[in-house]
């Protein structure tokens, strides 16, 4: 095998520019320099690809941020969907579904049930030892009336 | 036109743009050749060449004539080529092997490249070199610059450049022989 030597081949420029490229290039450069020398106004700078892409990126990020924030807000509301339903509607629903008070208590979390008994604004129950006999009788009447409704 | 005359025109505010236009006309062909050999694709070479002259325009007032104008412009062109290739690799996460294959594919499609088999093999072998070594090889082989000139362009020692060139030439000869 003959060993190739760089001196064996005629040296010549491997690539050529397209025809008239250099005439056009010097004119293009001249125009670019004239613009540079004249100085570019601020609005031209803002319309340059670098600045407009940055502005677009900021707008997109704000848009995505708002979308995510709104979605999170909606998710929080979704966590307690019963908050949006009136108590009367709930009672009506339970009435037509024939759910008894016992079934309802069984379905409720124990702590939640206790919490709802002691903090329910409508009934405002008091511990038994602080009640008079009369108040206690009234409370039993009230509870038995509610059981009948359910 | 001499470098001195071009610089005189540029230094005079009334003829600065005319002087710069002369500079572009004077150096556009040799700088295009330098850049094209490195980036291969004509459109890429056109972009890089424009960047080179824009940098020359921006920096010409600070050019102190410690070096020749040609050397200074050549240094800007070399840096722009290396930066362009580095960006290209970063953008496409390309290792050196793939970038040389991509460049060779472009070289093969290039209408300007001589179709002779040995020319194609030579270009393929040159493209196998690392970018900086390829740049040095081209400066010496195609532009026939002295090692001292290459040293002032690249900022490396003459001894290091000689070693780099001879190593590159040996690699190319071996590659073409084996191909």
Token pair, residue A61, equals 């990020």
> Which pLDDT score is estimated for A121?
46
Report whether pLDDT(B125) > 60.
yes
Domain made up of B95-179: CATH architecture? Orthogonal Bundle (1.10)
Q: Does A5 touch chain B (CB under 8 A)?
A: yes
Token pair, residue B51, equals 């960047």
Residue from B111, B29, B70, B35 nearest A22 by CA: B29
Enter the ipTM. Answer: 0.80
Q: Does domain B1-93 have CATH number 1.10.1740.10?
A: yes
Chain position carrying tokens 């270009």: B123
Token pair, residue B5, equals 């005359």
> Which pLDDT score is estimated for B117?
80
Q: How many CB atoms lie within 10 A of CB B134?
A: 22
> Which pLDDT score is estimated for B98?
64
pLDDT tens by residue, A13-38: 888 899 999 999 999 999 988 887 77
> Which pLDDT score is estimated for A122?
47
pLDDT tens by residue, B140-177: 999 999 999 999 999 999 999 999 999 999 999 999 99
> Which pLDDT score is estimated for A42?
58
Output DSSP code: residue A129.
G
Chain position carrying tokens 């002032």: B152
Alpha-carbon gap, residue B16 to B6, rounded angstroms: 9
In sequence order, which residues have a C-beta less than 8 Å from that of residue A133 and are 6 or more positions away? Answer: none
Are residues A30 and B17, on separate chains, in Cβ contact within 8 Å? yes
- Sketch the domain layout of chain B as residue ranges: 1-93, 95-179
Nearest-neighbour CA in chain B from A31: distance (Å): 10
- Say what angle helices B69-92 and B3-11 make with each other, to 10 degrees: 80
Q: Which of A2, A6, A26 shows the shortest C-beta gap to B172?
A: A6
Q: What average pLDDT score do residues A134-143 get?
A: 79
- Sketch the domain layout of chain A as residue ranges: 41-83, 85-149
Alpha-carbon gap, residue B51 to B72, rounded angstroms: 14
What string of H, E and C letters represents the secondary structure of A31-72?
HHHHHHHHCCCHHHHHCCHHHHHHHHHHHHHHHHHHHHHHHH
> Which pLDDT score is estimated for B171?
95
> Which pLDDT score is estimated for A75?
57
Alpha-carbon gap, residue A42 to B46, rounded angstroms: 27
Chain B residues contacting A via beta carbons under 8 Å: 17, 20-21, 24-25, 28-29, 32-33, 36-37, 40, 42, 46, 49-50, 53-54, 57, 107, 110-114, 118-119, 122-123, 141-142, 169, 172-173, 176-177
Are residues A1 and B177, on separate chains, in Cβ contact within 8 Å? yes
Alpha-carbon gap, residue A69 to A103, rounded angstroms: 38
Chain position carrying tokens 């511990």: A127
């Amino acid at each position: 095998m003959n060993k190739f030597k760089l001196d064996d081949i005629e040296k010549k420029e491997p690539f050529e520019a397209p025809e008239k490229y250099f005439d056009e290039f010097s004119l293009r450069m001249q125009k670019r320099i004239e613009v540079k020398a004249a100085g570019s106004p601020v609005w031209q700078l803002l319309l340059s690809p670098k600045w407009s892409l940055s502005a677009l990126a900021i707008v997109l990020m704000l848009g995505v941020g708002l979308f995510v924030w709104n979605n999170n807000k909606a998710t929080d509301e979704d966590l307690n969907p019963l908050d949006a339903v009136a108590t009367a509607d709930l009672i009506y629903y339970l009435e037509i579904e024939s759910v008894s008070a016992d079934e309802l208590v069984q379905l409720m979390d124990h702590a939640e049930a206790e919490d709802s008994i002691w903090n329910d604004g409508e009934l405002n129950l008091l511990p038994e030892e602080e009640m008079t006999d009369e108040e206690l009788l009234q409370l039993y009447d009230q509870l038995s009336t509610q059981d009948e409704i359910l | 036109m001499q470098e001195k005359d071009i610089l005189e025109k540029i230094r005079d505010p009334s003829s600065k743009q005319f002087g710069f236009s002369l500079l572009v006309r004077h150096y556009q062909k040799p700088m295009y050749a330098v850049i094209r050999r490195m980036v291969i694709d004509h459109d890429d070479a056109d972009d890089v060449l424009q960047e080179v002259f824009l940098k020359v325009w921006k920096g010409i007032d600070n050019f102190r004539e410690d070096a020749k104008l040609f050397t200074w412009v050549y240094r800007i062109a070399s840096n722009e080529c290396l930066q362009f290739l580095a960006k290209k690799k970063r953008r496409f996460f390309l290792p050196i092997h793939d970038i040389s294959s991509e460049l060779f594919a472009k070289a093969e499609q290039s209408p300007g490249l001589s179709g002779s088999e040995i020319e194609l093999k030579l270009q393929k072998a040159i493209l196998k070199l690392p970018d900086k070594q390829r740049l040095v090889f081209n400066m010496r082989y195609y532009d026939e610059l002295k090692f001292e000139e290459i040293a002032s362009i690249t900022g490396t020692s003459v001894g290091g450049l000689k070693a780099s060139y001879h190593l590159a030439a040996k690699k190319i000869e071996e590659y073409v022989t084996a191909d």
